[in-house]
A and B are shown apart, each in its own frame.
Chain A
Amino acid sequence: MHIHFLDPYQPRTSPIHALDSRVKLVLVLAYILTCALTPIGAWPVYILLLALIFSIELLSSLGIKFVHRRALLAIPFMLAAFPVIFTNGQTVLFSTHIGSWQLTAYAEGLERFISVALKSWLSVQAAIILASSTPFPELLQAMRAIRIPRLLVSLFGLMWRYLFVLVDEALRLMRARQARSGESGKPGARKGGSVAWRARIAGGMAGNLFLRAFERSDRIYMAMVARGYDGEIRALPMPPVSSPAWLALGGGGSLLLLLLLFGILFWG
C-alpha cells in the first residue's frame, strides 16, 4: 500500500495546468489577498470572486465537485467564528434564553460571520486549484522565484521527497499495531488496554518513526556526499516568463485589483 493519494496533483491538460507556476502562485496569493481585503458585506464582489474561481475550476478541468470535496477541510474552523453572530451590532435579529443565558443575534454579526465564511471558502478553493494543477517541483521553482530562502525551499523539496516514504513507514507501524493488539472491528467493542497504555504505544511508535528518520537521514546525507554534495543545493536556472504568462499575470492582476477597488469604493 502506497500513499500516492496524499499527492493532490491531478494531471490534466488544461490552460491552468499549462500556466507558468510562478504566475500561478502570485495570482493565487493575489486572489487570497483580494478576498481578505474585500470589506465585510460586499456581497456582489464576493459573488464575482466566486464566479471567477468557479470559472477557473471548470477551465482547469478539475471540476467543482473535486475542489469542494477538499474544501470541506476548512469547515470545522467556522465554529470559532460562530459566536460573533451574538456579540456585535445594533440590529437585533432574535433573542432567546438558554437557561440563565440570554443570546441575542445581531444582523451585523451575522453579516460578519457569513463574510468570513465566504472569504475562507473562496481562499481555500484558490489554494486547492494551485496545489492540484501544479506538480510540486514546479511549485518549488515558483517559491524560489518569489525569493523564499533557498534553504527553506530545499527543505520543502526534501520533505516532499521523503514524505511518502515516511508516511508509508507510519502506516506499516500502524498495521503492525493493529495486527498485534486485537482491535475488534465491531462498533462499540472495547479497545485493548487503558487510554494511557494506548497513548504510550502510540508514543513508542512516534519515537520509533523518529529514530528511523534519524538513521535514514544519515544514509541520505552519506549518499549525497558520495555524489558530490558540498552543502549547496543546486537547481537549474529558471526559464524566462513567456509573454502569454506575463499577459495572464497582468490580466489576472488587474481584474483582481478592479474587483478590490469596486468592493472598497462601494462598501468600504
Chain B
Amino acid sequence: MHYAPQPMHIPDGFLSILVSIVLWVITIIVVGYAIRRVGKDLGERQVPLMGVLAAAIFAGQMLNFTVAGGTSGHLMGAALATILLGPWAAIIVMTTVVGVQALIFQDGGLLVLGANIFNMGIIGVAVSYWVYRTFQRLTGGRKWGIFVGGFLAAWLSIVVAALAVGLQLAVSGISPANIAIPAMGGIHMLIGVGEGLITLGALAFLYAARRDLLHIGEAAPKGGAAVWIGGLVIAAILAIASPLASAFPDGLEWVAEQRGFLDTAQEPLYNIIPDYVFPGITNEAFATIVAGFVGVLIVFGVALGVAHLRRSRKA
C-alpha cells in the first residue's frame, strides 16, 4: 500500500510570502467562523464526529481505481464531506485533513498551509455546496438530482480548486499564467472525473443503505445562503478570471515583473564572490564550477563535523 500524494497540495517555496499571508488571513477568518457555527449547530457531538470523519476522508483518499496505463482515480473528498455534513462542518473536517497531511506526511507545505486549506477546504466545500444545493432545489430532492448534483459538485470543486492553485502560482511569479492555469485546469478536468465518479458511487451506495444521511443541511439548517453565494462567487470569479489571466497574462506578469524589478533594482551592497564566480580565476565557467565546489565542501565539512562530534560523544 502506498500513500499517494495529490498534485493539489502546494509545497513550501512555491508561493510568494504575500500570497501566503493573504490566504492565511482569509483561511483563519473563515475557519474561525466555521468553528463557532459548528459549535452552535452540532454541540458536543461535533468532536468525535468530525475527527473520525476526517480520518475516514484520509483513508478514503487511499481508495483508488485503475484507469489506464498505470494511472488511477482518487478521491479528495471535499464534495462528499459537504454533502454528508453540511458546509461549515465540512470546512473544518477538510482543514483537519489538510493540516495533518502537511504536518505528518509533508503533503503540502507548512507556510503555505493557509493556501492549501483555502483551496481544498474553503473553495472545494463552497463550490460543492453551491452546485449540490442548486441541483437539490431545481429537482426538488429527487434521486437523479442527488446523483447528477453530486457528480458535478465533485468535478467542479476539483477543477475550480485547481484553477485557484494555478492562479496563485501565477500571481507568485512561479509559473506563467498562460501555462499554469490551463495546465492545472486541464489536468484536473480529467482528475475531477475520477473524483466525480467515486463520489457518485458513494452517493449511490449511501442512497441505497442510509437515505437519511443524504439530506444536506439537516445538521446545519440555517446560514447555508452565505456559503451558497460564496460558492457561486468563487466559481464565477475563477471561471472568469482564469481564462482572462491566461489569455492576457500581461496583468499578472506586470505584477511579477514589478517584483522582479524590485529584486534586481537594488544592487548588492558588497560582492564577496563577484557575479558568483571565484576571484582570481579568469575563465568564467571554470570559476563558477569552483565556486559551486567550495559551496559543496562547506556543506560536507559542516555535516561531517557534526557527525564526528556526535560519534565521539557516543563513544
Contacts and interface: CB of A to CB of B under 8 A. Distances in A.
B67 interface: yes
Interface in B30-60: 31-32, 35, 39, 43-56, 58-60
B277 to A, nearest CB: 11
Interface string B227-264: 00000000000000000000000000100110010010
A123 B73 CA distance: 29
Interface string B56-77: 1011101111111000010100
Given A158-B52, A170-B63, A202-B64, A207 B99 contact: no
Contacts of B103: 127, 130-131, 139, 156
A256 interface: no
Contact of B47 (A6, A32, A158): A158
B193 to A, nearest CB: 8
A119 interface: yes
Given A36-B12, A120-B12, A199-B201, A50 B299 contact: yes
- Interface size range on A against B: 35 or more
B209 interface: yes
Contact of A211 (B92, B197, B206, B271): B206
A211 B209 contact: yes
Name the residue in A39, A122, A162, A207 with the highest tally of chain B Cβ atoms < 10 Å from its Cβ. A207
Contacts of A66: none
- Interface size range on B against A: 35 or more
Contact of A155 (B1, B92, B202, B305): B92
B44 A229 contact: yes
Interface string A209-243: 11111101100110010000111010000000000
Contacts of B13: 35-36, 116-123
B111 to A, nearest CB: 5
A156 B73 CA distance: 27
A163 B99 CA distance: 14
Nearest to B193: A199
Interface string A160-176: 11110111011101100
B202 A224 contact: no
Contact of B58 (A159, A208, A224): A159
A210 B53 contact: yes
B206 A162 contact: no
B200 A203 contact: yes
A169 B55 CA distance: 11
B97 A159 contact: yes
Contact of A159 (B60, B96, B107): B96
A3 B299 contact: no
Interface string A103-143: 00000100010001111111110011011000010010000
Nearest to A88: B260
B176 A231 contact: no
B189 to A, nearest CB: 16
Interface stretch (B3-11, B125-133, B136-144, B278-286): B3-11
Contacts of B17: 36-37
A213 to B, nearest CB: 4
Contacts of B200: 199-200, 203
Given A61-B310, A88-B257, A210-B84, A154 B12 contact: no
A233 to B, nearest CB: 7
B96 A51 contact: no
B5 A221 contact: no
Nearest to B174: A81
A202 B198 contact: yes
B211 to A, nearest CB: 12
A267 B270 CA distance: 9
B177 to A, nearest CB: 10
Contact of A191 (B58, B66, B84): B66
Given A51-B298, A170-B63, A211-B210, A33 B56 contact: no
B186 interface: no
Given A191-B66, A265-B269, A152 B209 contact: no
A157 B51 contact: yes
Contacts of B213: 211, 214
A73 interface: yes
A47 interface: yes
Interface of B: 1, 3, 5, 7, 9-14, 17, 20, 31-32, 35, 39, 43-56, 58-60, 62-68, 73, 75, 80, 84, 92, 95-97, 99-100, 102-107, 109-111, 169, 173-176, 179-180, 183-184, 194, 197-206, 209-210, 213, 253, 256-257, 260, 263, 266, 268-273, 276, 291, 295-296, 298-299, 301-303, 305-307, 310
16 contacts: A32-B12, A32-B109, A54-B306, A58-B307, A80-B169, A120-B13, A120-B14, A121-B13, A122-B13, A123-B11, A123-B111, A136-B104, A151-B47, A159-B96, A200-B201, A203-B198
Given A77-B14, A87-B176, 13 more contacts: A8-B105, A32-B12, A47-B295, A47-B296, A48-B298, A84-B173, A116-B13, A157-B51, A166-B52, A200-B204, A206-B201, A207-B206, A266-B270
